[in-house]
């Protein structure tokens, strides 16, 4: 038996207030949700608890006041930027920004259509009618995304990141686009992204501007109000934007649709990816770094098509492939790796001739036919006989001769073309350069010799100190042994006198022990004296050698 769910009794929820109304008229739930959206911390317990309606209102008003003062300080013109274009921030005081959210979204979608139609300058100055608008499809956010991916939907942060990369880190653009994952980066990439994060959090007015800022599409986006993120999050967000951009461009190339009108639908309604596309339109020399993303997207599309389409016979496939290759125009870009390789090989001679410093030698005089020369074929002889007198012989097309490569330079062992034709060094300049280089090498060798002598001098002093210490210890041992022998000699003489007077057998045993000790210390003294003599002789030889050379 199904049980009916009980409805919770109580007052119906109060509808949210419009943004134009003051905070004092907002309900407490809406104030708390607004604080959570702006990232304002609210204390719920303790003496400083501010989760009441009055406390939440005070927090929001203080947040607005701080942001307005921060924007004014950031937009203060500097003496250096007096001649540059000033970008005004459109804050909450604008009447259009205080409208309901659905009206702002409809206006933004209509402006997006105008922007993608190519009329960027006209759309920035024109006024958009709010009644007749076209709503573009928006992709909802995925609730299963990672925690770090939430920052990718903050357009203030993503727009600022794109400004930083295209403004200050143009030289490292290739390395940034080739970034694969956070765990596979090297020290250079980590250092580069650390610098990007430092620039991202800096107070540079160039990073707070937006190209086409006056356009209604980007209205309400302010890169100055960005979130603080680590360099790992910034790198992950950038890699995600590059992947979405490459996928969108791949779908455009696959469907052969209009690039400007269909790009917004292919990029999942992401304004930051559209902003990246606008930057690449301004700087097309960096669009080639996204070829890998486009190729991967094309391979995914082709793999899906192959799974659904039945395979055709080999003969029909070869015929259709030949007809397709013949019908292709020269402006089409090859998609498969084999066609790209062939296309690159065909374009390589023109590229070499374009960047070759030597001029291409082309004979301007027509090639005349010699009278003694025999025709190479029967068709040529028949053409010469049937040609009338009125018809003048058409000159043959001049053949392009191969450029003459200059001989290598005998002085610098390089080609005689050093960047330009007039920059070849003469013999006197080469000899002067060799002389200076020889002098520098001699000076470096002299410094190395002085360092070696200094090191050897330190080594010799240390060795001499070691030898002196050993000699001192040998002399000390010899003195101790001599003192011991003298004491034993005295005891031995006394014990001999006692044995002579007949003191007993114990005196004879003690006398034998003294004689044995006397013999041992005598041998020890001889050994020490031999070591001392050998040490003195080696020390004299080292002193006679003189200083090291």
Q: Is residue 509 part of a domain?
A: yes
**What pLDDT does residue 155 have?**
84
Looking at the fold, whether 211 and 171 belong to one and the same domain comes out as yes
Q: Is residue 493 part of a domain?
A: yes
3-state helix, strand, coil in the chain (%, to 5): 60, 0, 35
Name the residue with higher pLDDT: 465 or 377. Answer: 465
User: Does residue 496 carry a pLDDT above 60?
Assistant: yes
pTM: 0.33
Asked if residue 158 lies in contact with residue 274, where contact means CB atoms within 8 angstroms, the answer is no
Looking at the fold, whether 57 and 148 belong to one and the same domain comes out as no
The mean pLDDT of the chain is 64
Asked if residue 192 lies in contact with residue 172, where contact means CB atoms within 8 angstroms, the answer is yes
Q: Is residue 83 part of a domain?
A: no
Rg for the chain, CA atoms, rounded = 46
Q: Domain of 49?
A: 18-76
Q: Is residue 366 part of a domain?
A: no
Q: Is residue 482 part of a domain?
A: yes
Looking at the fold, whether 65 and 103 belong to one and the same domain comes out as no
Q: How far is CA 250 from the centre of its chain?
A: 25
Q: How many domains does the chain have?
A: 3
Looking at the fold, whether 194 and 293 belong to one and the same domain comes out as yes
Asked if residue 514 lies in contact with residue 488, where contact means CB atoms within 8 angstroms, the answer is yes
User: Using DSSP, how many helices (H) and how many strands (E) does the chain show?
Assistant: 16, 0
Looking at the fold, whether 175 and 243 belong to one and the same domain comes out as yes
Calpha distance 70→151 (Å, rounded): 22
- Summarize pLDDT for 134-151 with one digit per residue, the tens: 333 333 333 333 344 434
Query: Which of the listed residues 53, 76, 99 is the one where a domain comes to its end?
Result: 76
Looking at the fold, whether 167 and 225 belong to one and the same domain comes out as yes
Identify which of 31-45, 301-315, 316-330 has the greatest average pLDDT: 31-45
User: Does residue 184 carry a pLDDT above 50?
Assistant: no
- Summarize pLDDT for 106-128 with one digit per residue, the tens: 555 555 555 544 434 443 343 33
């Amino acid at each position: 038996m199904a049980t009916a769910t009980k409805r919770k009794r109580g007052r119906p929820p109060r509808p949210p207030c419009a943004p134009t109304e003051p905070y004092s008229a907002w309900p407490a739930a809406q104030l708390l949700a607004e604080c959570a959206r702006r990232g304002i911390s609210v204390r719920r317990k303790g003496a400083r608890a501010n989760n009441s309606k009055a406390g939440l209102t005070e927090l929001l008003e203080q947040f607005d006041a701080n942001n307005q003062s921060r924007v004014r300080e950031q937009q203060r013109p500097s003496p250096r930027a007096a001649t540059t274009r000033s970008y005004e921030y459109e804050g909450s005081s604008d009447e259009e920004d205080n409208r309901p959210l659905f009206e702002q979204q409809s206006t933004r979608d209509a402006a997006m259509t105008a922007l993608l139609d190519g009329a960027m300058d006209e759309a920035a100055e024109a006024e958009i009618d709010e009644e007749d608008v076209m709503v573009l499809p928006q992709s909802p956010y995925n609730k299963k995304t990672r925690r770090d991916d939430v920052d990718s939907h903050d357009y203030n942060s993503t727009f600022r990141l794109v400004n930083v990369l295209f403004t200050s880190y143009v030289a490292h653009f290739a390395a940034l686009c080739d970034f694969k994952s956070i765990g596979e980066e090297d020290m250079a990439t980590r250092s580069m992204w650390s610098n990007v994060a430092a620039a991202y959090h800096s107070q540079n007015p160039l990073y707070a501007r937006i190209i086409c800022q006056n356009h209604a599409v980007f209205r309400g986006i302010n890169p100055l109000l960005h979130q603080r993120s680590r360099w790992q999050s910034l790198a992950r967000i950038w890699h995600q934007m590059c992947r979405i951009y490459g996928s969108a461009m791949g779908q455009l190339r696959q469907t052969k649709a209009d690039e400007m009108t269909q790009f917004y639908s292919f990029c999942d309604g992401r304004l930051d990816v559209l902003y990246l596309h606008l930057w690449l339109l301004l700087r097309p020399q960096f669009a080639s770094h996204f070829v890998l993303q486009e190729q991967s997207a094309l391979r995914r599309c082709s793999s899906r098509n192959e799974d659904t389409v039945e395979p055709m016979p080999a003969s029909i496939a070869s015929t259709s492939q030949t007809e397709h290759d013949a019908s292709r125009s020269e402006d089409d870009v090859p998609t498969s790796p084999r066609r790209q390789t062939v296309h690159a090989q065909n374009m390589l001679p023109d590229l070499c001739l374009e960047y070759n410093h030597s001029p291409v030698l082309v004979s301007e005089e027509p090639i005349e036919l010699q009278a003694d020369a025999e025709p190479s074929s029967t068709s040529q002889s028949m053409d010469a006989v049937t040609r009338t007198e009125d018809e003048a012989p058409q000159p043959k097309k001049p053949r392009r001769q191969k450029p003459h490569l200059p001989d290598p330079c005998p002085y610098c062992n390089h080609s005689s073309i050093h960047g330009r034709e007039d920059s070849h060094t003469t013999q006197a300049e080469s000899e002067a350069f060799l002389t200076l280089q020889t002098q520098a090498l001699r000076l470096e060798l002299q410094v190395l010799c002085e360092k070696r002598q200094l090191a050897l001098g330190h080594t010799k002093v240390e060795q001499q100190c070691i030898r002196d210490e050993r000699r001192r210890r040998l002399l000390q041992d010899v003195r101790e042994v001599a003192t011991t022998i003298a004491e034993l000699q005295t005891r031995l003489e006394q014990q001999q006198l006692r044995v002579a007077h007949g003191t007993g057998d114990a005196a004879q045993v003690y006398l034998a022990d003294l004689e044995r000790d006397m013999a041992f210390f005598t041998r020890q003294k001889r050994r020490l004296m031999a070591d001392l003599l050998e040490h003195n002789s080696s020390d004299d030889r080292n002193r006679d050698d003189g200083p090291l050379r």
